A and B are shown apart, each in its own frame.
Chain A
Amino acid sequence: MKPANQMRQWVVRGGAAVAAVLFLGGATMSMAQESVSVSAPMVKGALPVDDPNAAAWNTAKPATFPMSPQVHWPNRIQEVTVKDLTVRALHDGTQVAILLEYADPTQDPDDAAALQFMVGDKKAHFAHGQPMAQVEGGPVNIWYWKNKDDKAVDMNAQGFGTLKIQPHQDVKAKGAYANGTWKVVFSRPLGTEHAAEDTQIVPGGFINISFAVWDGRKDGAGDIVEKGSQKAVSSWWYFRAEAPPDYSAYYYAAFAAALALGFQFVLIRKLKKGQAA
């Protein structure tokens, strides 16, 4: 084999090996990452706001978040039923629908779940917007669902004990229980007219979201075990309604590649002319 041919082979093999390592490395890194955000893709057609089992939910990427007992407020609890929560979301440009899914061995009338959002630009503590000593916090917007009512309640709070039901109810909810699993869909218009009370969802932007779940089972004495601030909670995570597809980056990339190609062409022509002279 000619030395030049041999070198060419090394280059090709080496390049393939490097590419394979980069690809595999990237793949494992993205797999190891935990969920930090719920992404709601934009869909055409009606949102499955009344159907937690609709096939349309399969188009949304699930995000799973760990849950903890609520410990911040003194009326706390040390153990809760729900350990993880899977969240999917969809939007159609005017409405958003968010599906919670979690394991609960028993269906009880007092089973309940809630979403929580920050309102406006001020940061709010994840425990009901508790007051913070050195930071001026804002309110939280809570979307609450309870099995026995099977409807949503749209609320605000700014600290424990300040929960208030809004005069304007914009949120809908529907739950379905099967095989030890709750599926609950919340839905609302992306934006509302009450920006001081309701979270406003703008496609493309990230907002904070957190979750709460109550297993409404009763203990031996007939008392509900998880109620009020005794519940499973999550920390703040992110939520984003995806913006309509934007192809401008592809155009820029094609333009830049064409420029580079043209530059090469001009350079080589120039060099060849120089050599000939």
Chain B
Amino acid sequence: MARIQLENVKKAFGKVQALDGITIDVKDKEFFVLFGPAGAGKTTILNCIAGIMMPEEGLVKFDGEIMNLTDSAHRNVAMVFENYALYPQMTVYDNMASALRSKLYKTDEAEIRERIQWAAKIMKMEKLLERLPSQLSNGQKQRVAMGRALVRNPSVFLMDEPLAHLDAKLRNSMRTELKEMQANLGSTCIYVTHDFMEAMALGDRIAIIKEGRIVQIGTGDEIYYMPCNEFTAQLMGDPEINLIDAEISGTEEAYTAKFSLNGEMVACSLPQDSGVYAKIKELGLKRVDIGIRPQHIKYSFEPQDGYFKTTVYSYESIGNKSVIVTDCGDKNHSQLRMIAPNGLRVAIDNDIYIHLEMDHAIFFGSETKDYIVRYDEANYIALAAAQEDE
């Protein structure tokens, strides 16, 4: 039960600046996700909070109190790692009791039993208590590791990619279970992941980390609908967002975006309403990157109004739906991906007609790669504000 703050935390390993001024403010009982690619510094942030590492600069505060010089053991944090680190010779029960029996906590056995039973119930592992770790599946082992953290009733849970080890199926079902347990945790939790589905599903708020810096902090919806730059936009969503390098031209009345498709230049008019037009006019932009998510490109096998002709580069089923890939034919070999149902009679290199739904487009600077505007921006700002209130 604690509010965790980092203020301008810096940490270097030799010449590498692992953390370059991290400032976050995690509210009490918040589930806060640190999300980013490998090597971004996510785990280093956790280690600074846990007291395993000392930041060279900046403050670590728990409930407003500066913890920089407090020993790790006295910070009352519980960590869960990717590898479960269970004692192989001890039963699940003893593994869970191990911290409480240590010199530091010296809890009496009756209370230990009570706490373990409570944690086992939340983690749905009441039937596993007498087993040895070798008799558990990987998913069960991770559950024990989490249960062991739970019984300590810590100020904050620090979870470092607890599901990364598991295969895709188990990871998804464990994520759903974790979501279910979340309501019963009643503690602040800081969770590190490189899986966007985990970040979106679990996080009350998400901090996007890149090269030791924070790129964006916000709710899942804020980051998904209004990513602050192309890097963030590409992290959220699978298959990732399409980015189209387009040239803007036009008169006072109408703007068109021209871009390369299948080696030819095509033009598509920009929506006039909802602020897009106004923003582009205001900034006098000549070039933008248009971001369109794969579900917002429509296709047809017949020529239609507002559809551009191109060819199928690939057609892949991804389970309950498929992805059609087309080639832009520009110098960067860029491709467009769109969602389609399974079982279409689509052959590679066949013609296909596509339509970009501009009323879902997000616009980025052609040079800066930063967010400029999206269609219906006001609506999404309102959605974000509503979530903030909750």
Q: Is B a genuine binding partner of A?
A: no
Interface residues of A (CB under 8 A from B): none
Interface residues of B (CB under 8 A from A): none
